[in-house]
Structure 1
Amino acid sequence: MDNNLEQITFGGGCFWCVESCFNMLKGVHSAVSGYSGGHKDNPTYEEVCTGETGHAEVIQITFDPKIMSYAQLMDVFFFLHDPTQLNRQGNDIGTQYRSVIYYKDDVEKAKAEEAIRKSEESGKWPGKYVTEITQFEKFWPAEQYHQGYYNVNPNQPYCSAVVGPKIQKFKKHFGELGMLNEA
């Protein structure tokens, strides 16, 4: 990885719902769907879906902090999912859909705590946030067919009903803020 780039890993529900959005942001070199936080090495999607591996569906983002800051990524993160829902996002239910931020050191942990505090204080989501802040250990990339899933499968029922509307809302909001790559 380029020394000028940084990585962040977090989960906010179904990775199909957030991966496409993060890949549209200026300064994001990649957003990769995967699994983290569990006890099973090399987990498969089917195993993670059981809820028995301890893993969450996550996104690992490689970004240029000179273009897109950690705080801006956190703003997007809290825009794209409801951090007050414990172990679920909408109809996606289970620990694999938990809201979680993985940190690599004490500086990142403090940034994550600050991002939660600021977002909670904003009142965007009523209620107490249940987002976990957890020490990062390992990221397992999801199977290749999950990468860019929405872009390849926009007419798949879940994508057209859930992912597509979320992407449109995201584009409107963050496009107005000038945070999206010109496409």
Structure 2
Amino acid sequence: MAEKATCPELVDVLNENECLENIAGMGNNVYIGLKSDLAAPLTLTGSTYSTPTFKSGKGLYKVEASDDTQQIQGSSAGYRGGFDLTTNFALDSVSETGGKLARAINNQDVFIIVTGKGSDRTQIMYDPNIKVKFDNGGIKTDTGAKSGDERKTTFEAKLNGVLYPNLYVTDPATEGWDSLLASKAVGG
């Protein structure tokens, strides 16, 4: 039997209790995982998912994104409709490697982890039953027209119908997110 969903308790949100640097943006590292590589679905406690664990030989894939392009937005889907999440990131290139990344994540069931910046926590685009999708135009390449133009590949991922406007993930206990890279996995 499914657990009964309960709303979080309302609390006062006071400036004196919010001693945070409110620096916009996220960190430069984006980690992408395949849901099929997970040893078990992540568990959600409040708005925070557990640290992913992977099948033998599997792990995350790291994308060092362009400076100041990572962004996560949450928006209400209306009364009792949950929230829709959007994550943006970019590469400072149009390349064969970026093209392969684009095709792989456009066509597979992925989740996305974006590291925090400043005091911000690591966030995740994940739901065990809902797919992260790149809508029509969600992945774009632009070679630029003249030599002064920027070459960019931009990604805009969507996850609709989740419980919170931002979803967090527990950082690995030691060695950081790079310790979960598929390239460092043993076995398989």
- Assess same fold via TM > 0.5: no
The structure with the largest helix share of the pair is 1
- TM-score between both structures, scaled by the size of structure 2: 0.29
Structure whose CA Rg is larger: 2
The structure with the largest strand share of the pair is 2
